[in-house]
A and B are shown apart, each in its own frame.
Chain A
């Protein structure tokens, strides 16, 4: 049978099923294979906080979205082009985001009476015409698997567990993907379990064959290879990138790595990864609580380790007092906050950018520390190296903000050559005769790092205010003023040691979209699209939040209007307005989900159409101007 072939620039596929259906697994495989096939990829796992929610329920639906294409893939995809739904509940939960005319591949077994009832369907949506706007492919996967395994001797129990792999095979056919990467993965994963390997490999091929032979599947889609820089690539999540970044940073600084951490979603994957790096000499302590996580890291920092603690919002709250101690003792420390939707337990598996103010100011006393924010999953690697560089050079704790989205989303990462990455130089004290614990490098204002084992430099530090230079406990009023200002100045000075803010598009004009952290992808795509359509709009992205790049003020004042999209109610907006006295329009979303590029595009289009607001400065006293969109 002759099948048609169509070339597409980008596609979003979403695999959805029960928590136990293996959707995360097939999504990851689809994503890795797409990368292997030369596409840009961006993925997002979307799973419930229940571990194994009751089968068939709406709240038990687990999904994995893969957005891939030949260029400009920086988000997880605004709308779904192909939905794989293993049961009625996963169709119901995910249908709203499926584009009209898109393909929906369903396992018809998951639409029996019980499943329909659990999903709240009165009639079967596969029969009642309600899906007429979509191309629906119903497959009885058990039946088809049975057929596929007629001549293969594998226990039927094993076959039943390969439905997800069968579905993966169907999608591989659809996008003409090679099976080898997944076959290789199956062989590695189930090494020694020959029947499991056979079952999975055969199911994968079975899915492909089914689509190949089935007349309903008329068309294959080809996504051209991306124009990527030459090199070795792998798929990476932000959490993996942080873990790798930490090991590489320690190597580059020639220091041992120590992680003190307590399990918390969505940051725990960093702890998982680091705890497996023993052969790299990495030490970790799964502490009894968040406070012990950071304080053990502070102890390790006192002993000369590159010390790290990883957490998410509620854990960061618990660590705040100890962060003050690290600021006071001026010890290097990396604090990674994989932000999630709060307050309190909030939406623990969902993303948000609402810890910015906590990162900046969430401590008692005047307690400044550098704050960095990674822009994407792979940028988590670079920003982890930056956090280490700044912490060790300036003898300060550094906060690295990521979030549940980029922490768990994956994208291709061009694997760096370790030799070509810059060295990091810790500021160790060397001369015992002149040593004083708070003597500072006149340029960086960093104090010297003397660690136990260095003879003649025995000293005491702690949370009490110290006299500058000598480090002797001091309650002298003027000394306190001096030390508070010194600690602030030390952090402020880092502005001279970070890249300036770059503007994409014209350097001045009407509208600047200023994004930070994980909103990078959606902001970039929205602006590029609007620029291509001829709109006057520029984009700048902040990865350094404290201190800000030193040209930020200049950049802001060159635009009439500045718009900040963020997954909170305007935290960066408030910081910017306070510091630069520049009115900012916020685009704020707190739904536990990242921005879609199209959402930003719509709001920016509205803004551009409000001609009367063009000169914001002249109009800012007016009461009728919308402050936020």
Chain B
């Protein structure tokens, strides 16, 4: 059935598609707090967009509620600021209806792990082709400072003055457990690296989940300093990249080896372990991804950053919808509406 939308989808872009990051900056003030981690995600996103080669009328940013929810207002594409926790189903509906679009979701740890938790696990398993950027600041900021599903146990907030009693979700492990095909983690202090992660997420066909540590200066300042500040991050994080050994430390003198199924730190010293002993990352290995994800809250192991998993062996849901329609039309012929109305049996008066 031909529709008006088919015509809109096929409209050629008039003029030059190659745009600059400026083209993605709308004429509005960014109202996040000075020094907010979200600002550090906005600029790599704005810089990435021209690189995609997609006309901006084909790009959509969708958000839920929370500080992250304001993101679509600050990037000049089509945008939809949804309601709390529901960015993912809004985006799913849009992408299923419009597979021609590049769909991005911006959400937060409260929006996505708490009120939107159900949508998150189902979006992961369904593998709709979209890119989800989850700003994790381990606190509810827009409601002015309550503990969130990623806050650590004992965290003192306005709603946990004596310390939170909950244990946190590990977002990347949750995504892996729910069968997300692309799972990565970045942070707000290295914009170039983050931009690369966003590009990878875009290039992955299917559901791409990027957890981004974003510092909240007001309600949880410094929560990620150990893992994000230039002085300490090399010793406390390990960058995961496909085919690369898990080496870390300021002097690249430490590595991760597998002791059975347990990751362990070794010193790379002469006469001791060499780089050849170190575990080499394979982003296609789901078992490995889960082991690495579970290093997250370890007190001794470095925090895994980068791409935990990037599977390309599952088709996206939106593609399957199209294929099912095509298959049905090919095998049974395009629908005849008159026939449909007549139904199985009719009679004439």
Residues of A within 8 A of B (CB): 32, 35-36, 38, 181, 184-185, 188, 228-236, 240, 244, 247-248, 250-251, 254-256, 258, 260, 277-281, 283, 285, 287-289, 291-293, 295-300, 302-305, 307, 321-322, 324-325, 329, 415-416, 418, 426, 428, 451-464, 472-473
Contact = CB atoms under 8 A, between A and B. Distances in A.
Nearest to A292: B89
11 contacts: A260-B93, A278-B325, A280-B340, A288-B118, A292-B86, A295-B83, A296-B90, A299-B92, A303-B93, A455-B13, A460-B72
Given A231-B348, A277-B335, 7 more contacts: A280-B337, A288-B122, A296-B96, A299-B90, A299-B97, A453-B57, A464-B81
Given A244-B341, A299-B89, A452 B58 contact: yes
A307 B335 CA distance: 20
Contacts of B338: 418
Given A232-B348, A300-B96, A305 B5 contact: yes
Interface string B90-111: 1111111110110000000000
A277 B324 CA distance: 11
B315 to A, nearest CB: 16
B162 interface: no
Interface of B: 1-5, 8-9, 11, 13-14, 26, 28, 55-60, 62-63, 65, 69, 72-73, 76-83, 86, 88-98, 100-101, 118-119, 122, 321, 324-325, 328-329, 332-335, 337-338, 340-349
A423 B103 CA distance: 32
Given A278-B328, A281-B335, A288-B122, A303 B340 contact: no
A36 B92 contact: no
B299 to A, nearest CB: 35
A299 B94 contact: yes
A448 to B, nearest CB: 14
Contacts of A325: 82-83
B337 A247 contact: yes
B77 to A, nearest CB: 6
Given A418-B337, A454-B8, A303 B119 contact: no
A421 to B, nearest CB: 11
B337 to A, nearest CB: 6
Contacts of B92: 285, 292, 296, 299
Given A36-B345, A455-B57, A304 B79 contact: no
B57 A295 contact: no
A234 B343 contact: yes
B147 to A, nearest CB: 24
B7 to A, nearest CB: 9
B58 to A, nearest CB: 6
Nearest to A35: B347
B81 A463 contact: yes
B120 to A, nearest CB: 10
Contact of B328 (A181, A235, A279, A324): A279
Contacts of B119: 288-289, 291-292
B335 A426 contact: no
The residue in A229, A254, A256, A303 that gathers the most chain B C-beta atoms within 10 A of its C-beta is A303
A455 B11 contact: yes
Nearest to B28: A472
A36 B348 CA distance: 8
Contact of A231 (B65, B101, B349): B349
Given A36-B345, A287-B89, A280 B97 contact: no
Contact of A295 (B59, B77, B90, B346): B90
A228 B342 contact: no
B118 A289 contact: yes
A303 B58 CA distance: 10
B293 to A, nearest CB: 23
A236 B347 CA distance: 13
A428 B2 CA distance: 17
A398 B293 CA distance: 45
The residue in A185, A322, A455 that gathers the most chain B C-beta atoms within 10 A of its C-beta is A455
B345 A254 contact: no
A242 B228 CA distance: 55
B80 A455 contact: no
Contact of B97 (A303, A454, A455): A303
Nearest to B329: A279
Nearest to B128: A285
A277 B340 contact: yes
B98 A295 contact: no
A618 B347 CA distance: 54
B45 to A, nearest CB: 14
B73 A473 contact: yes
A252 B335 CA distance: 15
B70 to A, nearest CB: 9
Contacts of A324: 83
Contacts of A457: 57
B81 A453 contact: no
Given A254-B2, A292-B122, A416 B78 contact: no
B90 A302 contact: yes
Contacts of B94: 299-300, 302-303, 452
A35 B98 CA distance: 42
A415 B4 contact: no
B1 to A, nearest CB: 4
A463 B76 CA distance: 18
A38 B349 contact: yes
B328 A300 contact: no
A299 B341 contact: no
Contacts of B4: 254-255, 304, 426, 428
B3 A254 contact: yes
B9 A305 contact: no
Contacts of B13: 455
Nearest to B101: A452
A288 B65 CA distance: 20
B36 to A, nearest CB: 18
Given A285-B93, A299-B89, A458 B76 contact: yes
A455 B57 CA distance: 5
A289 B89 CA distance: 10
Contacts of B324: 278
Nearest to B14: A455
A295 B63 CA distance: 12
Given A454-B8, A460-B80, A463-B83, A233 B96 contact: no
Contact of A462 (B26, B80, B88, B89): B80
Contact of B82 (A32, A305, A463): A463
A458 B77 contact: yes
Contact of A415 (B58, B59, B342): B342
A188 B343 CA distance: 13
Contacts of B3: 250, 254-256, 281
A303 B4 CA distance: 12
B78 A452 contact: yes
Contact of B93 (A288, A297, A463): A297
B81 A415 contact: no
Contact of B96 (A279, A283, A302, A428): A283
Given A35-B347, A285-B92, A299-B92, A461 B340 contact: no
Given A231-B349, A463-B83, A185 B328 contact: no
A279 B334 contact: yes
Contacts of B82: 295, 298, 325, 462-463
A298 B91 CA distance: 9
Nearest to B87: A295
A233 B57 contact: no
A291 B349 CA distance: 44
